[in-house]
Structure 1
């Protein structure tokens, strides 16, 4: 039990001593940690360049913007080399991709050639080298094409007939409307004629009454 407690305490101390990967809030502690880690990183970069004969370039900016750098040769040359490498990596496709593109292009060319041969045969060209089986296949394909064309033509005719029927309905309705207008106009003319006749009759009656009044006045004298 004593050994188990001892191991537990040791593990707890190790957990407490482990640095958590988050921003250090205390400014002084943060600056001290930055200085230690920066020096350690610069030392590791130097050791890597010497021990492994590697070209190493390290650039560090402090929180306040101060620059720290290390280069095993020339910082500018290393940066230019890096830029060339990344540019080549971005612009040049890999050999595998190039081979894949070539294969796809070759397959596309073959498909285009086959389609061109089929088109010429359907037009009746280049049939001299065809076997009987190929000729039968071409004939069947042409028959299917003709059947599709006829079906489409019948469909177009049907649609046009339906459109003409709709136009006929519209024209018939317009004709009925115009005929109704004509009938209304004839009826209106008849009404006007009756009114004019009545006015004439009234005028004649008034004229007769006037004459009768004049005659009566003359007789009364």
Structure 2
């Protein structure tokens, strides 16, 4: 049985549409290759899918540009001149925009003000003031962020110092370390060192040999 005729209209199902495009695209490219070999023809084939994906085929002995040039020659038209004119027009617009922006930058820096009317000067003054406000707000934000970060560091240092002091006091009161508060210089020197004294007697070396305590005073610079 032969296949029934397919109605030529847009395939609504996107998946089926993409599958059909892929199959028929390959078929067209195959026909173009056969035409190139059998007839020594110059073929340039360009296809764009519904999602703008490009597929092309060009005969091995030619390029797409060669085909375009031959087309223009046969049709007595110039495809490139109109395109070049549009490029020149776009370039002129970009130059005008660049010139206007450069002039505005110079004016905001206090230059190239000759020829401006009173209203134009007022608008320029308003723009500059608005820019200063934005810059000032950003500066204050940076200062506040830096200050908050510094405060957090100070707070962490204070917490660490407090924890060290608590740990030190616990060790001073523990007989295992021989630093109990017995009215001697060792305990007082230990506490003074922890509190940051710059010059003091501290940490007498404890000699536990023979069960007795010998001491040697150490002076910290």
TM-score, length-scaled by structure 2: 0.48
Kindly indicate which of the two structures has a greater share of residues assigned to helix: 1
TM-score, length-scaled by structure 1: 0.48
Structure whose CA Rg is larger: 1
